[in-house]
Amino acid sequence: MDKVVFGQYYPTDSVIHRMDPRIKLLAIILYIVTVFFLVDYVMYAAIFLFVLTITFIAKIPFKVLLRTVRTIIFLVLITSIINLFFTTGEELWVEWKFIKIYREGVEHAIKLALRLILLMLFPSLLTLTTTPMELTDALESLMSPLKLIKIPVHAIALIMSIALRMIPILMEETNKIMLAQKARGADFDTGGALKKAKAMIPVLVPLFVGAFRRADELALAMDARCYSSVAKRTKYKVMKLTVKDLVASVVCLAVFSLVFLNKYLWGFDEMILALFK
């Protein structure tokens, strides 16, 4: 089924895909918060296990999930290395000329890397299992209380969905314009960054002019179909919470409370260390 032509949506027929997008969105926000409450390695491991379980249920190959991490691997490495060298602590592990590495530094670096990877994994899980349209609908629904303070929630959601719809069209147009310019001898591939950027100008100008023309025509077409941001509209697609959404919410909250309790009450690492002593 070619439902989506862009983005990283990975279509399977899993329970996770069919979940209410609002719950998924809220869960992801909750987990991003959770990541900042993780203290010890056991919890990190637990959360990673949790991510892998979701990925498994969602029938997404781990390879696909890992691919999303690859984009930030550089950031992860640099921040970890900086932390490794510049964190000072009490237990000195390595000392060589001016370089001093402390135990705390190593720990910091590892945890930071894990944290960054988790911060990338969770939103990826969302976009892999939810279409952009569903996300837009979810946002509209979740933001609807803002209507009370006169924020045009519906208009914002509509703008987002039109933007999403226009992405493939504008991409196609960009390609066409580039080919047209190439046919007339334009060179996009050689030269330094500045030269390449300059070469893009004859592509961008017609692209923008075209986009404005499209916007004009689209507005006319919407007028012709009686669109009004103020009138009372009905909605054809209604999102409904089902049992699986409730179950998912409970599981998510349970994991979150576990992490939270661990931070403020227990401390699994110490417990395990105590066992070995």
Among 148, 231, 243, 275, binds other proteins (CB under 8 A): 231
Among 149, 194, 224, 274, binds other proteins (CB under 8 A): 224
CB closer to other proteins, 4 vs 110: 4
Q: Backbone dihedral region of 59: left (phi > 0), alpha (psi from -120 to 50 degrees) or beta?
A: left
Among 74, 183, 234, 265, binds other proteins (CB under 8 A): 234
Among 145, 152, 168, 191, binds other proteins (CB under 8 A): 168
Among 32, 49, 220, 250, binds other proteins (CB under 8 A): 220
Number of other residues whose CB lies within 10 A of the CB of residue 23: 19
Among 74, 212, 236, 276, binds other proteins (CB under 8 A): 236
Q: Does 258 interact with other proteins (rule: CB under 8 A)?
A: no
Q: Supply the minimum distance, in Å, between the C-beta of residue 180 and other proteins.
A: 18
Rounded to whole angstroms, how far apart are CA atoms 76 and 112?
A: 8
Site for other proteins in 199-218 (CB under 8 A): 213-214, 217-218
- Contacts by residues 163-166 (CB-CB < 8 Å, ≥ 24 positions apart): 164/132, 164/133, 164/136, 166/211, 166/214
CB closer to other proteins, 229 vs 257: 229
Map residues 130-159 to x or -, x wherever contact with other proteins holds by CB under 8 A.
--xx------------------------x-
Query: What backbone phi and psi angles, to 5 degrees, belong to 20?
Result: -60, 125
User: For the purposes of burial, counting CB atoms within 10 Å of the CB of 105, is it exposed (0-12), middle (13-18) or buried (19 or more)?
Assistant: buried
Rounded to whole angstroms, how far apart are CA atoms 32 and 196?
A: 38
Q: What is the binding site for other proteins (CB under 8 A)?
A: 1-5, 132-133, 158, 161-162, 164-165, 168-169, 213-214, 217-218, 220-228, 231-238
